[in-house]
Amino acid sequence: MLRSLRYSVLHALLIGLWPLSALAVSAQDSAPVLRIQGSNTIGAQLGPALVDGLLAEQGFSAIEKQPLANANEVRIRGRTRTGQLLHVDVAAHGSSTGFTALKAGNTDLAASSRPIKDTEANDLRALGDLKSHDAEHVIAIDGVAVILHPANPVRELSIVQLAKIFSGDIQDWQQLGGPPGPIKVYARDQQSGTYDTFHELVLAKSGKSLTTGALRFESSEQLSDEVSQDRQAIGFIGLPYVRRARAVAIIDGESRPMLPTVGLIATEDYPLSRRLYFYLPPQSTQRWAQELVRFTQSAAGQAIVAANGFVSQTVQAVKIRANPDMPAQYQALARDSERLSVNFRFARGSASLDNKAKMDVQRVVDYLRDHDKLNQRVTLAGFGDAKDDSARARLLSRLRALAVRRELVKNQVILRDVLGFGDVMPVASNDADEGRIKNRRVEVWVE
């Protein structure tokens, strides 16, 4: 029977009844060249767009996206220069599912809208160190926006207030300066990296849990659309999915109120900013996964990030308005220089630059070279978390700036000055590790 089938296929090919493309489709439909699983925030829109961009860069034609049988799963198909049809499968069911799929061997790349957890990294240690620079790739910056119905008059909320709202301790809008009426809580589902981020940055900081009365959603788009139609609603969502709802400004500790703007998210100053990741096991030899990671970090890849509503890591100069609340030296910087849209931050419990910062060194150097600012045009401004001794806080903040200086000097950058401002101008509360890490930052200013 097998011999007969082979003869029939060969005969059909010889007489032109069975096109070669049909064989390619049949074979490739059962074997994607790349499998991506994980975050809905990434997989719903950004991941497929990046795959599309990579295929176009590689010379593919007739690129199309097709929904699969399961919700939140898509297939991106394209034809090579030689006419072969290939496809990439993307499944977007939440960040934790990507790591589960890596362990089971069901995916080549895990997409996550939060850092890998220690328990997950330990569980996947057979695949290598998933926290290493070779495995953890920041592909974009996102902001978790807290959204309301457009007619809701509330304009700003603190992290503490958010914790009380989403845990059910505050249940009426009148308690927040709004019109009387019950608050209806909307939230992403348990598998979502957006939920994990919100839980860690808001609820866990106050020792709270999400109210059991919350309405849960796997789809970011559906959650946002429901909030925009419900005057009593409040929800949280990734920045590209605000859609017809309205975002409120967030206050963390002593920070000023901040809206989820592109500038504040790019520097990760916005209290609910977060990084989006691809995790590729360092021992992986999967060529398509390696190529997608490379493409995503390129200028073309970061342009796709921006086009899809996220914040790219492309460095830009921004003019900051000086105000009397700033230290005098900082006011002078604001008057005479521009701030680059990147902050250098450090690995938890370490004086070493974190994985994103290591990539940002080259991005900053490229910007300085392209704009002829390599020679004494750059000032580094270090900041830190609160200390009992303000002089010690200033010293530590300057030492962090000097750590960045060492990396820039390796790339022929001659700095104008290195400043340490200590614990002034916090962007987050110092009550928890996450806030202290955000406050330990180094800004880059150029004349």
Rounded to the nearest angstrom, the gap between the alpha carbon of residue 142 and the centroid of all alpha carbons in its chain is: 4
d(CA 98, CA 107) in angstroms, rounded, equals 7
- In 70-163, at which residue ranges do the beta strands (DSSP E only) sit? 73-79, 85-92, 109-112, 136-148, 156-158
The tens place of each residue's pLDDT in the chain, 447 residues long, gives 434 434 343 333 333 333 333 333 333 455 899 999 999 989 989 999 999 999 999 999 999 999 999 999 999 999 999 999 999 999 999 999 999 999 999 999 999 999 999 999 999 999 999 999 999 999 999 999 999 999 999 999 999 999 999 999 999 999 999 999 999 999 999 888 899 889 988 998 899 999 999 999 999 999 999 999 999 999 999 988 999 999 999 999 889 899 999 899 999 999 999 999 999 999 999 999 999 999 999 999 999 999 998 999 999 999 999 999 899 999 999 999 999 999 999 988 777 899 999 999 999 999 999 999 999 999 999 999 888 788 999 999 999 999 999 999 999 999 999 999 999 999 988 887 878 888 999 999 999
Question: Domains in the chain and their CATH numbers?
Answer: 2-138+276-307 (3.40.190.10), 142-266 (3.40.190.10), 315-446 (3.30.1330.60)
Phi then psi for residue 346, to 5 deg, are -125, 155
What per-residue confidence (pLDDT) applies to 186? Answer: 98
Per-residue CA distances from 111 to 360, 392, 414 (Å): 21, 40, 38
- In 149-214, at which residue ranges do the beta strands (DSSP E only) sit? 156-158, 184-188
What per-residue confidence (pLDDT) applies to 440? Answer: 93
Yes or no: say if 173 and 183 are a contact pair by the CB < 8 Å rule. yes
Per-residue CA distances from 264 to 273, 303, 324 (Å): 8, 18, 20
What per-residue confidence (pLDDT) applies to 29? Answer: 52
Question: Which stretch of DSSP H or E encloses residue 64?
Answer: strand 61-67
Ramachandran class of 68: left when φ > 0, alpha when ψ lies in -120 to 50, beta otherwise: beta
For the stretch 11-15, contacts whose Cβ atoms lie closer than 8 Å and that sit 24 or more positions apart, written own/partner, are none
DSSP-derived pairing of the beta strands 184-188 and 215-217: parallel
Q: Three-state SS for 59?
A: coil
Query: What is the gyration radius of the CA atoms in the chain, in angstroms?
Result: 24
DSSP-derived pairing of the beta strands 136-148 and 233-238: antiparallel
Is this prediction's pTM over 0.85? no
What per-residue confidence (pLDDT) applies to 15? Answer: 34
